Amino acid sequence: MNPLFRPLLTQSFKSTGVYLLLIALILAISATTALKFSNEQIQNAVALQAAEMLAGDLVLSDNKPIAPRWEAAADELALKQSHVTVFSSMAHTGDEFVMVNVKAIDQAFPLRGELRVAPQPAAAIQPGEVWVSQRAMELLKIQVGDTLNIADGAFQVTASIEHDSNQELGFSGFSPTVIIAQQDVARTNAIQVGSRINYRLLMAGTPQHTRQFEQDFKQYQESLPKTQEVDGQNISEPDGLRLRNASEGNTRLMRPIANLDTFLQLANILTILLCGIAIALTSQRYVQQNQDHIALMRCIGATKKQILGAYLTLLAVVLLLAMLLGSAVGITLGYGLLQLMLQLIPHLQLQFSAVEMLLGPLPIAMLTSAVVLLGFILPSLWQLLNTPPIRVIRQQEKSVQSMLWMLLTGTLSLMLFSVVLTENIVLTLWVMGAIILLCSVLYAVVWSFLKLIRNLKSGISAYVRTPYQTAFQITALALGLSLITVLAVLRTDLLDRWQQQLPEGTPNQFVYGLPPFDMPEFQTQLEQLGWHSTPLYPNVRGRLVAKNDQPFAEALIQHNNSLRRELNLTQAERFPADNLIVAGQEQFSQVGQVSVEANTAQELGIEIGDTLTFSLPEGLLQAKVINLRSVEWESFSPNFFFIFSPQTMDENAGSYLGSFYVPEQDRPALVQLIQQFSNTVFIDVSLILEEIKRIVNVLVQIITILAVLVAVSGILVLIACLNLLMDERKREVALLRSFGSSKQKLKRMMSLEIGLIGGIAGVVACLFAEVISAIASYRMELAIQPHWEIWLILPVVMTLLCALIGRYRLSYLSDIPPLQSLREMNQ
């Protein structure tokens, strides 16, 4: 055994530096392990929340019965299956007639989520029974126990539907609904030649198996013929077969979930950075405390190889202890975090698995923590090995070159750590790149500012002794503080965004299929009832077939769904209120013009001035592109990919659609309106609103918990940074005390100096927080905005906090003999 190891081990564990280094490593392992494990569980749980809208992990739909080959493919992958058939039909009781959405289900439905009815039946729905939604019961004026006719079939109402699954396919899933058994479809005699039917195969299984099914389906689609000739034009072959997963469900639900995923990854990056900073600061403190011991070893003849071996062995012991303790703390923290989430968010389906944690996040956290430690400690070790024996009798400042090497290797290890844990290279590079650039610029600014103060030779100059070192401490302190602030700022931005998505008076009713001859009377009725509504838009179905008289390329048709299906087309004098013109003229100027949604234009290579050809029921239609629009698809107002100038299309060739808001107290009047316009489909969008509110409420609580966890990591950084500030001033306080300085003067000096550092760090932290939050907001498609409140709070709070810490953390030195104080400098 290395003869230097035992005395080095004894000496190291007598000082506080090695304990703080150990705590930093334990935090790095435990916090990142628990956070990554919790993130994975949260993502899975929220994905299950989204899957409830599908009633499965995957939904294969077609306008004809699903081919047996897909059932066989699902069987091979051990996917659970359920068959659902959806069609529209007239339901009547003799006196009341209502067009309803009929859903025929089997015994396995739903595969995800739940179908709640009242009263709760002992078994699944039986042949001859029908379950009816509350809207349908109000319109048909029926109760449980009555008889309801659906087309030619008579059924007994045995329950009312409280909550239904499989509502992902547009607004139609929220229209008046009745549920029957799958074997009763033929009994209704409602399916005839030309009927519009949707056959669905629901599937659920492990993520690996569902991804395999998606890949097999994609390969099948790529093998299909892509175009056919119609009226002299090559257009895409209509194919009703479509596969959806939870992420392709209702976009209003998936956008908040996508934001949560980015927030989780950002929380990972910030936690990693905080832990890395803590390791960097504690390792530097450890180096400072051991310089005298290394110099002494060099004086008695110890070689660099012996010293290096002893320190590497010591680091291995420290790392092993950190791994053992970090693993225990990480598993406990992960379990506690999940239990806390289950208590606060009972909707989540979370499962704790110690084995899964041991085989997944924990080994990664251990390995990458070791890499970060070496990245920050190796340059410091090199500095120790080159400590001259004269260090025993003469104090020397730290090497700037060593400091730069430590920052370079430490930053590289942190970036590696971040990429491995988040698996998001783009976000990691954005955040890390911005932080590195900002730290470099602000370090230079702070260093120049402090050097200027020192050169002024004024009263305040006495508080700035080593500008480059103080600037480093301010930058580190500001970075740690800003990373804590970022999540709090982003949490507020996300809440504001989600609240803006659902403002008071958001339309909760959607109407489509309104005949042209009923449109004037319908508008009059809405005005008389005082219900706020969007404009009613004519809706004509058509297909985009060519650009500038040239058909679209087969590769483009293959990858763009808007070229393979009919689109909802409209014409209007004004664009919807939430549409913004991003290029081109503001308004239409003549017949034969069209406005295109900006993303669709980019995907299809459409530019202003192009002539587009559409296939409509009455023939081909050409229109010139005059502008591009951004569309807020998450709003509850009608939106369109293509809007034509007035009189370009025949409005009587289609129907009208729109949305309006009905106060809760006016529900009875809504029933009368629906009965008055019995040929029109009314959809209760309030069900979608409730789903969004439920999901958003879950996400808000998750974000709050994660922000607290990251803040805990940041507290250690602040403690480590403040400890460095305190250590460097202990010797000076002891020397001044030995020369007779009064206690009050020492306290005042420490308060002013540390308070000044804290105030500058608070200002720098605000700038850090604004830049990092702007990057994250851009990635989450949030509006970038300043946060004036942090500029008012952080500098003041940090000045007062640091001044108090400086006053009371060092005041105890004034109460002990100066000789004893000097002896404690290296403890």
- Check whether 557 has a pLDDT greater than 90: no
Residue carrying structure tokens 């669709």: 600
Distances (CA, A) of 434 to 431, 437, 482, 640, 769: 5, 5, 13, 38, 11
Distance CA 299, CA 659 (A): 86
pLDDT band for 248, please (50, 70, 90 cuts). Answer: low
Strand-pairing partners, residue 611, are 624
CA 381 – CA 378 distance, rounded (Å)? 5
**pLDDT value of residue 223:** 74
Q: What is the mean pLDDT of residues 500-513?
A: 73
Cα–Cα distance between 582 and 585 in angstroms, integer?
9
Q: Calculate Rg over the CA atoms of the chain.
A: 34
Task: Note every long-range contact of 20-24, with CB atoms under 8 Å and residues 24 or more positions apart, other chains counting.
Answer: 20/282, 20/285, 20/286, 20/720, 20/723, 21/279, 21/282, 21/283, 21/285, 21/286, 21/318, 22/318, 22/321, 22/322, 22/325, 23/282, 23/716, 24/275, 24/278, 24/279, 24/281, 24/282, 24/716, 24/720
Band (171; pLDDT cuts 50, 70, 90): very low
Structure tokens at 717: 């950084």
Contacts of residue 545, defined as CB under 8 A and 6 or more positions apart, other chains included, come to 230, 233, 234, 235, 551, 552, 613, 614, 615, 620
DSSP classification of residue 533: B
Q: Number of helices (H) and strands (E), helices first, in the chain?
A: 21, 23
pLDDT (mean) for 16-33: 74
Taking the C-alpha atoms of residue 679 and residue 517, their distance in angstroms, rounded to an integer, is: 11
Rounded Cα–Cα distance for residues 730 and 388 (Å): 24
| Residue bearing the bigger pLDDT, 782 or 182 | 182
C-alpha distance from residue 118 to each of 123, 367, 687 (Å): 13, 54, 18
- Name which residue leads in pLDDT, 431 or 231: 431
pLDDT band at residue 157 using 50, 70 and 90 as cut-offs: very high
- Report helix, strand or coil for 582: strand
Q: pLDDT by residue (tens digit) across 127-151? A: 999 999 888 888 888 899 899 999 8
- Contact predicate 706/486, CB 8 Å: no
Q: Minimal CA–CA distance to 321: which of 19, 8, 9, 22?
A: 22
Using a pLDDT cut of 90, give the percent of the chain over it.
11
Burial class (CB in 10 A: 0-12, 13-18, 19+), 566: middle
Residue 770 CA to residue 763 CA, distance in Å, equals 11
**What integer pLDDT is reported at residue 624 of this predicted model?**
93
Rounded to an integer, the average pLDDT of 160-178 is 65
Rounded Cα–Cα distance for residues 715 and 708 (Å): 11
Q: Which of 342-356, 560-574, 662-676, 727-741 is predicted with the least confidence, judged by mean pLDDT?
A: 342-356
